[in-house]
Amino acid sequence: MPWSSRRSKQRAFFFFVLFVALCLLLYQRNVTRNTLAHLEAGLNRPQHAHHSQQQQQHQSGQQVQGLDHQEKPSPAVNKFSWSNYKEHYPVSSMVKLPAGDPGKLPKVQFDFPEPSKDFIAEQKARRAAVKEAFKRGWSNYRERAWMQDELRPLSGTAKNGFGGWAATLVDNLDTLWILGMKDEFKEAVEAASTIDFTVTQEQTINVFETTIRYLGGLLSAYDLSKELVLLEKASELGDMLYAAFDTPNRMPITRWKINDAIEGKKQTALDWSIMSEIGSFTMEFTHLTQLTGNPKYYDAISRIMQVYKDQQNETRVPGMWPMMVSPRRLDFRTHTIYTLSSMADSLYEYLPKTHALLGGTDPMYEELYRPAMETASKHILFRPMLPDEADVLISGKGSTSVGSELVLYPEGQHLACYAGGMFTLGSRLFGIEEHGETGRRLTEGCIWAYNATQSGMMPEIFRMVPCKDPKDCKWDEALYRKEIARKSGTSTSNARGVERSLDELLTASSMPIGFVAMEAPEYRLRPEAIESVFILYRATGRKDLLDAAWNMFSSIDRATRTPFGNAELRDVRYPPQEAQEHLADNMESFWLAETLKYFYLIFSDPNHISLDDWVFNTEAHPFKRPLSRQS
């Protein structure tokens, strides 16, 4: 090839390479510019769970100065919206709210007389102590974990696990209002309005927890304040949760991969779900329909409750439902464990409460409640054998198999303490006198369990000896010694074969007298006991319940207080002076949202959130009852 021709080709190749390099340089400059723009925009958006701890702390510093100083996020282009979600299995005909005006239901609250000045002063001081505990936890959450789900009370760091949508903030909107913290409420409302329910780092969302904490919190705060942005946010969240019902049989996916829904994938209900998780949407979805007029939410829960109604008498313990059900196969009857405790609790709790929320316009909830509680009273509740022979009740657990009778397991749970309040409400709303006595005995059983431990707190899960004759239950020390030795794996005799004294046996088993075992000895800052004490006090006016509540609060705060809030206690058997050495770095949002709210309300004027005007969801969020809205 001639040299001139080769040279021309080399020159052409050189210019081609130069051209490509120039194009790449221009492209890189453009990418860098766009990247910087995206990063700059990202810094102006509310921070979510996936950001680093350093960014969380930076954001918290901004929030301390007030939300007004933050830039508002720019609207995203083509951003996904739950209101535009395209259903795969749409409903052709909606079940609407019951027609007709709500009836006048019986009074729940006692007619309280005019209190004395000394009484008012005493309750004011108690209320102030509760508020101080709340403010300590809230201020530290605000400074150290703002817009995150929870604050760790020992380390003072943030924690997520409920979607990363600021669970403690939303869960406590109504608490701030009820405690009169209006400036903090205003700030929290503005922050809540920025939450993006289309973004989460969680692989799976617990639809039940999202409903009771987030949706319940937004609805309650709206009822109290009438801040329209809260109802708008509740509707936005309601649309998200409604997408979990987009299955062939319209049963919800209780542990839900929301990104699959966002990507348009078809969904199917789970083969097995916890009974309470699929059966405890009734209050929140009913109230969202009441407030928005959109029937789809009420329709969604009506379909679930109809399955419960159709199968109530087909279970192995007719009247009740097992704690595991199959939404996919619509099998709510064949599982073998029955209880009012965890995994079942709020389904039963919501029966009288939804009746109240609907103003009695749908008879189904009373029709479900009566046989369920008749069966539970007969098979699940038991009187424990106690050294002081106290006439109290504990809610246990039953197991059955095909062709066999129910076997009672005398296992008590702190979670089951809600049942005292449920029976008390049922006695008033449905006029069932014996349920008032059942509610009293259940509530006093939980008070007894608090008083029985060195710390003054009730364990999470425990065992007791059931009375052979509930009407005549004498203390039988020999039987108790035998049971505590069997459950704890100790001997009633020492190494020399000498019979141990009861005190020696209790020391060897580390057991407070009356208990035979503690499968879970911790106290997790739970609200169920004070919830029932509060309801029983509001229904009966018994002043001794105020002292019981104060003893409970004092014991809890003394043992669990930290510089940043209050922490779970690992074992209630430690005396108060040792409890601080056995705390766990957890403070779920319900400590502020439920436990302290009920403590505050029991020491308040009974007309403050009256039970004749309001009904609480299972996360202690009060919803306005319909007659009150009309008055």
Which residues have C-beta within 8 Å of that of residue 8, sequence separation ≥ 6? none
Among candidate residues 236, 528, 531, 612, the one labeled active-site is: 528
Question: How far apart are alpha carbons 249 and 341 in whole angstroms?
Answer: 28
CB under 8 Å to 278, separation ≥6 — which residues?
Answer: 208, 251, 252, 254, 304, 325, 327
Backbone φ, ψ for residue 293 (5° rounding): 80, 0
Q: Which segments of 362-402 does DSSP mark as H helices, in order?
A: 364-379
Residue position matching structure tokens 């049942």: 419
Verify whether residue 528 is a known catalytic residue.
yes
331 is catalytic: no
The pair of structure tokens assigned to 588 is 């779920």
* 209 annotated active-site: yes
Per annotation, catalytic residue among 143, 209, 232, 366: 209
Angle, nearest 10°, between helix axes 364-379 and 418-429? 130
**618 labeled part of a ligand binding site:** yes
Name the catalytic one among 246, 299, 460, 619: 460
CA distance 521 to 462: 7
The pair of structure tokens assigned to 448 is 């007894």
Residues 349 and 404: beta-carbon distance below 8 Å = no
**Helix or strand run (H / E) with residue 297:** helix 296-311
Token couple for 396: 């246990």
Residues 154 and 562: beta-carbon distance below 8 Å: yes
313, 367 Cβ separation under 8 angstroms? no
Query: Hey, what are 159's tokens?
Result: 């924690």
Judge whether 522 and 455 are in contact, CB under 8 Å.
no
Q: What span, in angstroms and rounded, lies between the C-alpha atoms of 215 and 559?
A: 32
CB environment 300-326: b (16+ within 10 A), e (fewer): bbbebbebbeebbeebbbebbbbbbbb
Contact status, residue 373 vs residue 426, Cβ threshold 8 Å: yes
The closest alpha carbon to 546, from 619, 447, 457, belongs to 447
Q: Which of 149, 223, 246, 345 is catalytic?
A: 345
Q: So which residues are the catalytic ones?
A: 209, 345, 460, 528
Binding positions for Ca(2+): 618
